Chain A
Amino acid sequence: EAGVTQFPSHSVIEKGQTVTLRCDPISGHDNLYWYRRVMGKEIKFLLHFVKESKQDESGMPNNRFLAERTGGTYSTLKVQPAELEDSGVYFCASSPVGYNSPLHFGNGTRLTVT
């Protein structure tokens, strides 16, 4: 099966600009998660979709971050306007329905805000 795909792999933008990250989960996976890792720190939960619904968005840092999952397939994470502290690696992961299935991760998007 095809894995989780994230695009772009790297993005360098200036403070104040907008960036949109995309994640294509494994086909049929209802659960889709976004995580972020700042260098040396934990992989921090951002939010969780079940199909197209936001199940838990408690990890979203602030309203500059907007995640969508139209039609329950791919997801986008938009940062607008970007700030320096938004730099990090953004991971997407997917899993089948329920909690007894491990996550399948994408390669991540490395975002650098200058």
Chain B
Amino acid sequence: AQSVSQHNHHVILSEAASLELGCNYSYGGTVNLFWYVQYPGQHLQLLLKYFSGDPLVKGIKGFEAEFIKSKFSFNLRKPSVQWSDTAEYFCAVCRTSGTYKYIFGTGTRLKVLA
């Protein structure tokens, strides 16, 4: 069965520190990959997505993610975090055939200290 693993459940960083959140998925076929973010009190919103092409994708607010097919990974990065990045981050995978079921990871709660 499809699954998504996020390795870090809680991350605490100081402002200006670099961020990398891990995401691995298990599915051998073609997938679309997503990172969603949920800021406190808000709904989940799309941060970035990968469908095809350049494996390094850029999203909003300076975030980027790299798809490494051989490692089934889609790690999220940001060179310098801000206090406003405090949120919960979810990796998600959707197959491109069959039923278009999005599978989410457990989420990573990021706290950025001012």
Binding site for B on A (CB under 8 A): 3-4, 31, 33, 35, 40-45, 48, 55-56, 58-59, 91, 93, 98-100, 102-103, 105-108
A99 touching B49 by the CB < 8 A rule?
Answer: no
Bound-state Cα–Cα, A31 to B34, Å: 17
Complex CA–CA separation, A99 to B29 (angstroms): 14
Once A99-B96, A102-B34 are accepted as A-B contacts, the answer to whether A43 and B90 lie under 8 Å apart by CB is yes
Given the known A-B contacts A42-B107, A100-B51, are A56 and B101 also in contact in the complex, defined by CB atoms under 8 Å?
A: yes
Contacts of B45 in A (CB 8 A): 105
Q: Identify the closest chain A residue to B103 (Cβ).
A: A45
Let me know if B72 is at the binding interface, CB within 8 A: no
A99 CA to B31 CA in the complex, in Å? 10
Given A3-B43, A99-B94, A100-B32, do A42 and B105 touch, yes or no (CB 8 Å)?
Answer: yes
Q: Are B101 and A45 in contact (CB under 8 A)?
A: yes
Interface membership of chain B positions 21-36, coded 1 if the CB is closer than 8 angstroms to chain A and 0 otherwise: 0000000000010101
Contact A99 B95 (CB under 8 A): yes
B1-29 at interface with A (beta carbon < 8 Å): 4, 9
Chain A residues in 8 Å Cβ range of B107: 42-43
